[in-house]
Amino acid sequence: MRIVFCNIGWMKGYRGVSEEDTITSGGAYVDKSHQGAEQYNFLNTDGCYYGYVCTKSSGSKENELHIEKIDSAFEGKDFIDDVLVVWVAKRPNDKVGARIIGWYKNARVYRYYQENAIAFYNIKANIEDCVLIPPMYRSYIIYPARVIGAGKGMGKSNIWFAKGEEAEEIVENCISYIDSYYYERYDEPIREGQLSFITKDHMENLEGYLKKGDNLLEENPLKAIQYYNKVIHEKGEDLNVLYNKAVGLANLRLYSRSRELFEYILTKDNGHKNAKKKFKELENLLKDVI
């Protein structure tokens, strides 16, 4: 199995730094600026996570993640697919070792940094193949090589390729832990059934459902969509309600789904100015994201 361990700063949610979720234990830059590109490692962006791990440059060469150390067949290649990326971070006040905070399965790992509309990244995976462990359940520790023995843990680099006989047992135990993990995930993704769910809440009339959806559109777009689904189910297709639902999808960062719905609206009414504007905005955004 292709596997790589990546050491990053410690956060709860990795959906951006906020007052409720700061980043720590990420090195000198993170400690000074309280920022780090890994802060977005579990931010849903059109159904994918875009992960960052800090790499080193060599002389005049660009910062590089040596993917040939994952699989020697990828010497000189720009990326490698089907990699298990194990994210580890040092919990504040822990004296030694880094805890597994989550993983990407079937990930694409890039040799050089990529950039999208959100941040720099060098690893990408579908949300369904990823897990972020709730902070209270982050108990699995990867000890450093200086403590457990050469080749059996992470060194000074943020990246450990876990090669050699010394690492075999560590890797085997880690994979077993990941495959048998049964706790909830901290980054629970939005399921298809949630997007099509029709609210069971009772309102006096359809106008009440529509108004409730509009009030929730920014604060809780998923709930708003479920109110709009009720209106569409009872009233039938209404382009203005579909427009609001498409806005809700965009607010959930489901950009491709949102674009498809705006495109559908335009097939029904090519003069719908707001839908046309949103469609173009999403077209440009997706060029920078994917």
- How does pLDDT run along the chain (290 residues), one tens digit per residue? 899 999 999 999 999 999 999 998 766 777 777 788 899 999 999 999 999 999 976 655 678 999 999 999 999 999 999 999 999 999 998 988 999 999 999 999 999 999 988 889 999 999 999 999 999 999 999 999 989 888 888 888 999 999 999 999 999 999 999 999 988 889 878 889 999 999 999 999 999 999 999 999 999 999 999 999 999 999 999 999 999 999 999 999 999 999 999 999 999 999 999 999 999 999 988 887 76
Contacts of 166 (CB under 8 A, 6+ apart): 149, 150, 151, 152
Residue type, 282: L
Query: What per-residue confidence (pLDDT) applies to 286?
Result: 87
Q: CA 282, CA 260: separation in Å to the nearest integer?
A: 10
**Burial of 39 by CB count in 10 Å (0-12 exposed, 13-18 middle, 19+ buried)?**
buried
Which alpha helices (DSSP H) does 105-238 contain, by range? 145-148, 165-179, 192-196, 206-216, 221-235
Query: What per-residue confidence (pLDDT) applies to 57?
Result: 64
The H-or-E segment that residue 88 falls in is strand 79-89
Query: What per-residue confidence (pLDDT) applies to 288?
Result: 74
Query: What per-residue confidence (pLDDT) applies to 61?
Result: 67
Residue type, 85: V
Query: What per-residue confidence (pLDDT) applies to 238?
Result: 94
Query: What per-residue confidence (pLDDT) applies to 290?
Result: 62
Contact 107, 120 (CB under 8 A): no
Q: CA 141, CA 136: separation in Å to the nearest integer?
A: 13
Query: What per-residue confidence (pLDDT) applies to 59?
Result: 58
